[in-house]
Amino acid sequence: MHKRHITFALCLIFLLGLFFQYNRTDGFASLLKNSNAVMAIGTINEQPAIEMNLDNKHYLLVFDAKDINSILLKRNIERVLKYHKKKVTTVDSNVFADSHLPYAGIIMALGNFDQVKSMAAFRDFVRQGGSLYVMVTPKLGPAFATMYQEMGFDSIAEPGLAHGIKVLSNVLVKGKGFILSDNDYEMAILKGVINRAAHVHLTSLENTPLLWDYSCGKGKYIVYNATGLQEKAMRGIVAGMLSLGRDTYIYPVIGTKTVYIDDFPAPVPDGYFDSIKAEYQLSLADFYRQVWWPDMLKLAERYNIRYTGLIIETYNNQVKPPFLPEEDHDGNNKKNLVIYGRELLKSGGELGIHGYNHQPLTLQQYTGSEIDLGYNSWGSIDHISQSIAELKRYVAEVYPGYKLKAYVPPSNILSKEGRQALIDASPDLNIIASLYVQGDGRSTYDQEYTKSKDGIYEMPRISYDYTRDNNYDWEILNGVSSLGVFSHFIHPDNFLYEERANELGWSKTYKEFTSLIKGIQDNYGWLRSCTASEAAVHLDDYLNLEYQLVEKQDSLTLRCWGFRNEVYFILKTSKKINTVQGCLVENIDENTYLLKIFAPKVQVFFESVGAS
Ligand SMILES: [Zn+2]
């Protein structure tokens, strides 16, 4: 009897030995589900045969073709309308515009009304029930003098300055109560007294009204008495203003939440780092393994995050071949790729690439500000390709067959030539994730959410870092409100090099990061937590989506086509929703709903006015 037990024990030891051996030689890594290879398959919803009246989606945008500020403002508004898939006719202010068309609204991307040829007709448009959006501080002049009371001013004084922004309403989704406390954020305003009947949505830190809506006749003025709406970071305000002008305002959103960890997995320096040693008595490598990564996984688990990690093979600064595997201190670099990569995939994450090393893919002729960052420029496209080939070889050794689909440019810098070389060298690649709002004056690769002609999904990141930053919080709020996107990135070692985080130490830095991620989950739990590849599937559906809209007093009918799976719309209305068909509805803020649309025909029925 004893003998059988011993044989069993020996067999078990042998099998365990095999297991650990296999595990150590990365064998299991290749058995992991290649999560990013799963692409959505569904049938495309076809366009309905009936052509509906589209005027409820058609805006008239007036601007001054001779004024650069007006042109920039116009472009930003056009971009928001494009994201919302509304139609827009753009006219120069000195051209007579036919306002008899039943536009959804007329938008003024200029403050000098003396220049607007059709101003009298536009004012009439409002009296008859239309909405007129003033997107920048009105300029004093004869035209304005005859109409300021229609816009909600009781009296006007001189032009002045205001600072910061207080959000008084839910003009931004879950934005009520938010304060952009940056005193350096300065706007040109027009001082005056606002009519008490106006609904004020934003004020400055000095409590000067910045945004209000005011009824005039059967229609409405929506007035932004400040500057700044030409900025990408203000698009949530533009979206919010559009919603203020209509009883129901509905727009599609991408509806995704992504968190990128740049430079991960990557080589970790040997030895100790002062602040970490003081806080944890651990080497940097042990700290990452025992504290940082378990903390990151816990956060992901608790608040529904699926990380996309971007691999770096080495931190050498070489830009000439041969590109060799780094002198591997005791095989630690590869061990990191095995252990962290595997756990990242196991947690539902995705692996993408950041580079063979951290030198941005720019050629020698790019002698812009990247020189200031101490980077080397690459000698030729071929050298870039060779470095990418080495990175792919390195990854494939550990994760054979894994499709590397996402790329994040080092320091968010990427030249046109570098981009082409990268794509040519990596046929699986279909996502580039860089920056949404331009970096601090550097030659960064800035993107809009789109699909380029070469098939690459451009998926910018909107916010950054572990620690809270009031300006980033503002950009997050605007990003979610206009696009339905939270896209964030961190570097594992941010807390070592950034002054504030370094002062705080990891445990307090982690607390701040937790408050950010928890806040997103609490306020925007409806965002779909995604890896880069999964977000690209939703982006694709969003980009292909088209819709028509029929609005009635007690119902709203949407016909949607072009998408495969499920698309999200935000509906802003003060009407109460009774029932819906063809979608699921979720109340995500006061008078704000999320529609999850799965059928080509959607109907929303409202409680009839006067019903209790
Ligand atoms: Zn990096």
Task: Collect the ranges in the chain with pLDDT lower than 70.
Answer: 1-42, 47-55, 99, 328-330, 364-373, 439-442, 610-612
CA of 212 to the centre of ligand 1 (A): 42
Give the pair of three-digit tokens for residue 19: 């297991």
Ligand 1 centroid to Cα of residue 360, in Å, is 9
What does the block give as tokens for 187?
């706007």
- How far does residue 508's CA lie from ligand 1's centre (Å)? 23
pLDDT of residue 612: 45
Distance 575 CA to ligand 1 centre (A): 47
Distance 465 CA to ligand 1 centre (A): 12
Separation of CA 496 and ligand 1 centre (Å) = 14
Could you tell me the distance, in angstroms and rounded to a whole number, from the CA of residue 409 to the centre of ligand 1? 7
CA of 585 to the centre of ligand 1 (A): 39
In the chain, % helix, strand, coil (3-state, to 5) comes to: 35, 25, 40
Per-residue confidence (pLDDT) for residue 13, from 0 to 100? 57
- Ligand 1 centroid–CA 449 distance in Å is 21
Distance 311 CA to ligand 1 centre (A): 9
Label the pairing between strands 179-180 and 165-167.
antiparallel
Distance 349 CA to ligand 1 centre (A): 18
- CA–centroid distance, 184 to ligand 1, in Å, is 29
Q: How many angstroms separate the alpha carbon of residue 463 from the centre of ligand 1?
A: 15
Backbone angles phi, psi at 94, to 5 degrees: -90, 5
Query: Measured in angstroms, how far is the CA atom of residue 347 from the centroid of ligand 1?
Result: 22
Crossing angle of the two packed helices 381-398 and 332-346, in degrees rounded to 10? 70
Q: Tell me, in angstroms, the distance from the centre of ligand 1 to residue 27's CA.
A: 28
What pLDDT is attached to residue 37? 52
Ligand 1 centroid – CA 321 distance (Å): 21
CA of 356 to the centre of ligand 1 (A): 11
CA of residue 612 to ligand 1 center, whole Å: 57
232 CA from centroid of ligand 1 (Å): 24
The closest alpha carbon to 203, from 221, 224, 229, belongs to: 224
**Ligand 1: distance of its center to the CA of 255 in Å?**
26
Query: Separation of 414 CA from ligand 1 center, angstroms?
Result: 12
Rounded distance from Cα 351 to ligand 1 centre (Å): 14
DSSP 461: B
Q: How far is the CA of 400 from the centre of ligand 1 (A)?
A: 24
Q: What ranges in 524-592 are assigned the alpha helix state H?
A: 532-544
Task: Tell which residue, 597, 593, 528, has the closest CA to residue 567.
Answer: 597
* Phi then psi dihedrals of residue 463, to 5 deg: -135, 170
Q: Are 130 and 103 in contact (CB under 8 A)?
A: yes
Q: Please tell me the distance between residue 328's alpha carbon and the centre of ligand 1 in angstroms.
A: 20
Say how many Å lie between the CA of residue 309 and the centre of ligand 1: 11
Span from the CA of 254 to the centroid of ligand 1 (angstroms): 26
Instruction: Report the C-alpha gap between 165 and 361 in whole angstroms.
Output: 38
Ligand 1: centre distance to CA 435 (Å): 13
Rounded to the nearest angstrom, the distance between the alpha carbon of 491 and the centre of ligand 1 is: 7
State the distance from the centre of ligand 1 to the C-alpha of 586, rounded, in angstroms: 38
How far, in Å, from the CA of 151 to the mean position of ligand 1? 49
Cα(359) to centroid of ligand 1, in Å? 9
Distance (angstroms) between ligand 1 centre and the Cα of 312 equals 8
CA of 231 to the centre of ligand 1 (A): 26
Q: How far is CA 515 from CA 54, 93, 474, 483, in A?
A: 43, 47, 15, 22
354 C-alpha to ligand 1 centroid (Å): 7
542 CA from centroid of ligand 1 (Å): 29
DSSP string for residues in 129-167? T-EEEE-S-PPPSHHHHHHTTTTTEEEEEEEEEEESEEE
User: What is the distance in A from the centroid of ligand 1 to the CA of 490?
Assistant: 9
Rounded to the nearest whole angstrom, what is the distance from the C-alpha of residue 426 to the centroid of ligand 1?
19
